[in-house]
Amino acid sequence: MTKKRSRRLQALLEKVEERDYEPLEALNLLKETATAKFPEAAEAHIRLGIDPKYTDQQLRTTVVLPKGTGQTIRVAVIARGEKVTEASNAGADVVGSEELINEIQQGRMDFDKLIATPDVMPQVAKLGKLLGPRGLMPSPKGGTVTTDLVSAINEFKAGKLEYRADRTGIVHVMFGKVSFTPEDLLVNLKTLQESIDRNRPSGAKGRYWRTVYVASTMGPSISVDVNALRDLKLDEAT
């Protein structure tokens, strides 16, 4: 059974040509096709030539978006002793030790990012079934298991994102809000592209970049010219 498209989406789809758009052109069109009645996010969906079932073809890392995410990020920290005070002074929204672990077990989820110090990870591990499906489980690769709490809290609040390739080799990332200027969205998208290139898995063979699509939360997908994006210099994007 085919899903029926709304009149709104059908009208927006007619604005998108079946071709690869220059990056800035694509982002201007993304803004034009964002007509929902709420502040939409700008999303990138990037298909890579990797098979994540092999450990040397997995991609999971972080990127700091220079123009931020447009979101207010609530950061929770699980630590012990002086590190609890350090996290609180650094601006963490939720801070605790074993009692916070218990509260999370009982359903507390009023945060967007969870950071933990290495010494509490054996206890945090029992939250895996709760946090894993929500993408909240702390990990060293994601920059959320660390002793440098001040830097981690500041970076995530300023626009640091964790991203990963899903099991089909596609990276789904929110790289800003539709309310951003096309130029600011381009700076964030270019930074994301450079991060994906820099963290290319060692086992990736052949053509690494397959397709890049951008879209607003409720808008149509717009194909971006991969080579034009990769050839772009960041100073040209600003």
pLDDT > 80? residue 1: no
Percentages of the chain per state (helix, strand, coil), in multiples of 5 = 40, 20, 40
- The yes or no reply on domain 75-157 and CATH 3.90.1170.50 is no
pLDDT > 70? residue 237: no
Q: What is the pLDDT of residues 168-211, one digit of tens each?
A: 999 999 999 999 999 999 999 999 999 999 999 999 999 999 99
Q: The whole model's pTM is what? A: 0.79
- In which residue ranges of the chain is CATH 3.30.190.20 found? 18-69+160-237
Q: Both tokens of residue 10?
A: 């059908």
Question: Considering the chain, what percentage of its residues have pLDDT values greater than 90?
Answer: 79
Q: What is the chain's alpha carbon radius of gyration, rounded to the nearest angstrom?
A: 19
- In which residue ranges of the chain is CATH 3.40.50.790 found? 75-157
Q: What is the pLDDT of residues 112-170, one digit of tens each?
A: 999 999 999 999 999 999 999 898 999 998 899 999 999 999 999 988 888 999 999 99
Topology given in CATH for the domain delimited by 18-69+160-237: Ribulose 1,5 Bisphosphate Carboxylase/Oxygenase (3.30.190)
